[in-house]
Amino acid sequence: MYICRKIAIMARKLYPLGIQTFSEIIEKDKLYIDKTEYIYRMTHTDSKYCFLGRPRRFGKSLLVTTMQSYFEGRKELFKGLAIEKLEKEWTEYPVLRFDLSGGKHMEKEQLEEYLGYRLQEEELKWGITEPVKGANNRLIDLINTAYEKSGKQVVVLIDEYDAPMLDVVHEKEQLDVLRNTMRNFFSPLKYSEAKLRFCFLTGITKFSQVSIFSELNNITNISMNDEYAGICGVTKEELLSQMSEDIDMLAEAQGLTREATIAKLKEHYDGYHFSSVSPDVFNPYSLFNCFSERKFGKYWFSSGTPTYLINMLNKFDVLPANIAPIEALASAFDAPTEKMKTITPLLYQSGYVTIKDYDPDIELYTLDIPNKEIRVGLFENLLPNYVDGIYAERGGVAIARMSGLIRRKDMDGALHLLQDYLGTVPYCNVTNYEGHYQQMLYIIFTLLTAFVVDVEVHTPKGRVDMVLQTQTDLYLIELKLNKSAQAAMNQINLRQYHKRFSLLGLPITKVGINFDSTKGNIEDWKIEE
């Protein structure tokens, strides 16, 4: 048994973990999900300038390096891929590729120096040893030199164009400074239009064309185009066809059926939609790591939580319960980053919420958190806003134990455990706001992961503070601050909240909880079935 399994493991292709260069993946015969048809389609359209926005670690850099190999005419790398049959000429173009992902956490002078280094890398390839002054002039000179020496139009590929600005998106003054620096750098792209074959930019967020690209107002944003919805990530079809053996090996390692494994992969890593008509898209980084480790984990979040997101959530005073689901017009969540009036555009563009439904008659989208991995990771990062320091980490153990107790229908035991945990947390800031405790409980119950949680649920006679639904039971939870659990229970009974949920067919348990603001903890509770 051991020998057979080892052979099976060795037979599979290795995953390209930490590798974003197309040529290296192909030359080392690692797993590559074929996206070359999208590249051919994009580079043979009316537009010469294209922009694609996708969340981090979604394959944007791999897409850029694939495009680089294609424009360099490296036909041998594309054997057996879709583009091999589509492309007939395989013309070699001069390619200028700029990866700006390293330009983070920089002041203006540091950023200018960084851009200088990136330009120097390309200049040396074309024999430019004494560059002119100024990043924009250097880029003009570089394009001109490549055009003249090759005799062909130039391809410009810019990966993670917004990286230098993301960490200061919540600081208007600093954002303006860095944005002007980047606008200066990008300005030659419009000026050099006649000498360009194609220009492609990727990023996470969408800054307005006017503020970043100066006069480059004819760039085509394909981020929400139906045709390109599956250009990054792994679609369900690609998973089942190109990674079928990987699914079977994961199923064996987990002791699950193939069907149960697929369902669990969907629960953890699927759920992304990037247009109104989009295939199901899995997070590729998490998917590959899951197959490599042969276990389900929070891989995307463990690779780093962007500070800009937490900063912006705080700037907009976003309550955890209000993050999702939400309804919005496209203009409300695909807005330029520096012009957004709410956190929604950044949440969508960063991959923390995604399109879940679309009503074409009124052009209204429903946005929600994509999957379990994002929900758990996001709320774990929000918990420190309500429970300080290392105590937020300790809360993970308590929350896991609470989940087990609630599964066994022991809500009393779960609340005892929560009370004990909160009793260990230093509490300095007295909060006389009931909503604070509601949001804290919402985060904690959301982190139970296996249950459905909602707040301020409407009934004919008022709103229930919180509803918790497990596979077997429904809990109606009413909160009070500095009153009594009995007062909370009286409200549930007086307003007959339970009648609103009678058609669900689940046993209903009523829970009244009273918080003491001077302690920052649960004072008492009552439970009635």
Q: Where are the domains of the chain?
A: 2-11+234-300, 37-228, 307-370, 386-528
pLDDT of residue 379: 80
pLDDT of residue 306: 64
pLDDT of residue 104: 87
Using alpha carbons, list the distances in angstroms from residue 214 to 42, 169, 181, 189, 204: 23, 19, 11, 9, 19
pLDDT of residue 385: 66
For 37-228, CATH gives: 3.40.50
State how far Cα 200 lies from the chain centre.
21
pLDDT of residue 206: 75
From first to last of its 529 residues, what are the pLDDT tens digits of the chain?
A: 333 344 344 457 899 998 999 999 999 999 999 999 999 999 999 889 999 999 999 999 999 999 999 999 999 999 999 999 999 999 999 999 999 999 988 999 999 999 999 999 999 999 999 999 999 999 999 999 999 999 999 999 999 998 998 878 777 788 888 888 998 898 899 889 999 999 999 998 876 654 565 556 678 999 999 999 999 999 999 999 999 999 999 999 999 999 999 999 999 999 999 999 999 999 999 999 999 999 999 899 877 666 777 777 777 777 777 888 889 888 888 777 667 778 888 889 889 999 999 999 999 999 999 998 998 888 877 776 666 555 555 666 788 888 889 989 999 999 998 888 888 766 545 567 778 888 888 888 888 767 888 888 888 888 899 999 998 999 999 999 999 999 999 999 999 998 889 888 899 999 999 999 888 889 999 999 8
- As a whole number of Å, the end-to-end CA separation of the chain is 51
Does domain 386-528 bear CATH number 3.40.1350?
yes
pLDDT of residue 208: 61
For 66-81, give the DSSP string: HHHHHHTT-GGGGTTS
For 341-355, give the DSSP string: SSSHHHHHHHTSSEE
Report yes or no: 83 and 143 within 8 Å, Cβ to Cβ: no
Q: pTM here?
A: 0.82
pLDDT of residue 2: 38
Report yes or no: 284 and 33 within 8 Å, Cβ to Cβ: yes
Query: How many C-beta atoms surround the C-beta of residue 91 within 10 A?
Result: 11
pLDDT of residue 271: 95
The alpha carbon torsion through 370, 371, 374, 376 (nearest 10 deg) reads 140
